[in-house]
A and B are shown apart, each in its own frame.
Chain A
Amino acid sequence: MTPKERVLGLLKKEKIDRVPCFSGMGNVTVEGMKKYNIKFAEVHKNAEDMAKLAASTYKLYGYECAVVPFDLCLEAEALGSEINWYAHVEDNILYPTIKTKLVKAGDEVNIPDDLEERGRLPMIKEVIGLLKDDIGDEVPIGSYVLGPFTLAGQIMDLNELLKISFKRPDDVNRILTGLVDVATRVAKLEKEAGADYITIREMGAPSDVISPRMFKTLVQPHLIKTIEGIEAPRILHICGNTNPIVELMNECGADAISVDQKNDLVQTRQKIGDDTILLGNLDPYNVLVQGTVQDVENAVKDVIEKGVNGIWPGCDIWPDVPPENMKALVEATEKYGKLS
């Protein structure tokens, strides 16, 4: 099987030979940057370099996907936010962030008719096309969008958003309804460009931030609409403590759900049953970057035993992951992931 057949087979619940080793989130590495002499701070606006770097983790290690973009600012930028690229930072990898908040919390968000033409959206389309041409026959291309609540936190003051979510939920519901549109339009652009699967990242809504009650009343309804509006396969990802909300995540209608290392996989399996495709949990920093080859192998074995259906790190892989650990990740998946 090719990585593409394996990943898409998994997401369609077809029979596959072993669990795939892939992700729907960031997975570029310092080794990849060295290989093509690319600076992280400059790659976000250069289509060719971005495509090269996205494909490099497959080419270097056999990691079974290529995912773009690498940051969380795509939608906010297209809506008009100014981005900090950290071009001046030489000796460190910093992820782009949003410089100033676009609107006052609670205010109407103006969604331009020509959203698809704004910011880096045309470029992302191009990058996905380049990836398709390069490795698209054998490797699945992934892309992602932010969940509406997390996107709201990117374009307005998060503290204020959290407070009005409590005090004026109607206002927030109205805003989130508009942002569902943004998420589905961006996902559609990514899909039409050739993305094989879309991850919806709602990392602003774990239970270390908001209550499960607020998740259910304010976040879940918009996630359901977002997922409805995106062509399958779709993976819903939330970072942080997801133990109290994993059943609610499972009700959102995604083809798979993804959690990070704070999730108790065994309990989650009991709660959601065996039908749902469950991904994640493998610690992208403490194991992949800090751990030894043996730690990585143990972690792969452990998460498979606890019931994940794919080896997929709990969040973006940290670029300075040691090459031997990336190799171990892929090899351990081949070793322990066989499906009879």
Chain B
Amino acid sequence: MSEDKKKELLEELKEGVINYDEERVKKAAEEWIKNGFDANEGIFEGLAAGMEVVGDLFEKNEYFVPEVLMCADALYAGLDILRPHVKIDESKERLKGEVVIGTVEGDVHDIGKNIVKLMFETAGFTVHDLGKDVPLEKFVEEQMRTDSDIVALSAMMTTTMVGMKKVVEKIKEKNPNVLILLGGAPLSEDIAKKYGADGYAPDASNALSEALRMVSTLREMKKKGEI
């Protein structure tokens, strides 16, 4: 009985996100808590599962940016209700890592960056979004302030892209273990490598898998005591 209810509510959370129906998500999230189900499970098996489908629909050109942004609002509405009920130690364990993200100085193209940010949040990363047209120094400062594992930089223009190289240098100089992920239309695997970054991804879903790969390598190295 309770298993059935659980299944039904997870489906509601997921479908509510996919259909950008905030009310539906809120209702399901409240019921989820009332039934005493595990908040984390609701977030990851319900809300995040829905957002994953949204990501696919976007990549297939069935959803466009406005649709994705509305799905995100539905997701956040659910998170607002579920998150306060996540048990503290569990939230730590579940935490994938912290990310500083932003579009580099001189560049106001932030549509792609916002979608990447969304995928990170959905997957359980803590994201510090610096916005767009971000002075290069700001990335360094924010990384130090938050002690984030990853710095993700976006650029949509070839002139602003060159600023990324400076950010990579400055951050690595202060803290060589910070992982740097680059993206945006003019970037490529080769350029990212040349700039000294640790990863590159052509789109939002690859950005996520790339980030997960980078973080697990980092954790692995920490465990072995290499860093």
Contact = CB atoms under 8 A, between A and B. Distances in A.
Interface of A: 84, 86, 89, 92-95, 97-98, 158-159, 162-163, 165-167, 207-211, 214, 285, 289, 318, 320
Contact of A97 (B108, B111, B162): B108
Given A86-B106, A92-B163, A98-B108, A285 B66 contact: no
B122 interface: no
Contact of B70 (A166, A208, A285): A166
Contact of B162 (A84, A92, A208): A92
A95 B73 CA distance: 32
A165 B64 CA distance: 12
A92 B64 contact: no
Contacts, number: 56
Contact of B111 (A158, A163, A165, A285): A158
A214 B108 contact: no
Nearest to A97: B108
A209 B45 CA distance: 28
B132 to A, nearest CB: 8
Which of B69, B73, B108 has the most chain A CB atoms inside 10 A of its CB?
A: B108
B135 to A, nearest CB: 10
A211 B73 contact: no
Interface string B100-130: 0000011010110010000000000000000
A103 B179 CA distance: 37
A209 B64 contact: yes
A289 B158 contact: yes
Contacts of A93: 159
Given A93-B159, A285-B186, 14 more contacts: A86-B106, A89-B105, A92-B159, A163-B70, A166-B67, A207-B61, A210-B64, A210-B65, A210-B66, A211-B64, A211-B67, A214-B66, A289-B158, A320-B159
Contact of B106 (A95, A210, A320): A95
B112 to A, nearest CB: 9
Interface of B: 61, 64-67, 69-70, 73, 105-106, 108, 110-111, 114, 133, 157-160, 162-163, 186
Nearest to A86: B106
A97 B69 CA distance: 23
A285 B65 CA distance: 25
A92 B106 contact: yes
A67 B133 CA distance: 26
B106 A163 contact: no
Given A159-B114, A162-B69, A97 B106 contact: yes
Given A92-B162, A94-B160, A158-B111, A214 B64 contact: yes
Nearest to A160: B69
9 contacts: A92-B163, A94-B159, A95-B106, A95-B157, A98-B108, A159-B114, A209-B65, A210-B65, A285-B186
B8 to A, nearest CB: 28
A118 B221 CA distance: 59
A211 B60 CA distance: 12
A89 B114 CA distance: 26
B173 to A, nearest CB: 19
B189 to A, nearest CB: 16
A207 B69 contact: no
A210 B61 CA distance: 10
A94 B105 contact: yes
Nearest to A244: B61
Nearest to A212: B64
A163 B69 contact: yes
A89 B61 contact: no
Nearest to B163: A92
A35 B155 CA distance: 30
Contacts of B66: 162-163, 165-166, 210-211, 214
